């Protein structure tokens, strides 16, 4: 019985000793921990021709810049209408069956595309 008490005391002392040496180092550190996160900075958003609410908008008073802006928007309208038309054509013809509702949507997209192309061609004809 004497040896059991000594052996238990020795084992518990070893457990306490190993527990004290296995303590995490980060728990002992003092001071403020600074976490640095990346910041995303965007140079511009929205329209490339937007310059705020000021009265000195160069696109309003300069005919050349106004023409460039109008050309940009009309070409963008044609490109967007073409993408929408191609996307809908691929989507609706994927199953091989074209319903009346899908045909109406394709006709509307086609009219929008033709209208955008017509506006661009009228603009190009007037400016040349």
Model's pTM, two decimal places? Answer: 0.55
Per-residue pLDDT of the chain (128 residues; tens, 9 = 90+): 678 888 888 888 888 777 767 665 565 666 777 777 777 666 655 665 565 665 566 777 788 888 999 999 999 999 999 999 999 999 999 988 899 999 999 999 999 999 999 999 999 998 87
Q: Furthest-apart CA pair in the chain: how many Å?
A: 112
Residue 115 in any domain: the answer is yes
Is residue 110 domain-resident?
A: yes
Identify the domain containing residue 112 by its residue range: 62-127
| pLDDT score at 52 | 60
Q: Average pLDDT, whole number, for the chain?
A: 82
3-state SS, one letter per residue, for the chain: CHHHHHHHHHHHHHHHHHHHHCCCHHHCCCCCCCCCCCCCCCCCCCCCCCCCCCCCCHHHHCHHHHHHHHHHHHHHHHHHHHHHHHHHHHHHCCCCCCCHHHHHHHHHHHHHHHHHHHHHHHHHHHHC
Number of structural domains found in the chain: 1
């Amino acid at each position: 019985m004497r040896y059991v008490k000594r052996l238990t005391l020795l084992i518990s002392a070893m457990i306490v000793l190993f527990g004290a040496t296995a303590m995490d180092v980060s728990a002992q550190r003092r001071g403020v921990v600074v976490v640095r996160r990346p910041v995303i900075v965007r140079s511009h958003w929205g329209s490339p021709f937007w310059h705020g609410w000021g009265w000195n908008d160069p696109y309003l008073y300069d005919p050349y810049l106004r023409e460039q802006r109008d050309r940009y928007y009309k070409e963008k309208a044609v490109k967007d209408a073409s993408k929408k038309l191609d996307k809908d054509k691929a989507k609706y013809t994927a199953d091989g069956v074209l319903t009346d509702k899908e045909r109406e949507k394709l006709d509307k997209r086609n009219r929008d595309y033709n209208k955008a192309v017509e506006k661009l061609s009228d603009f190009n004809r007037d400016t040349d």
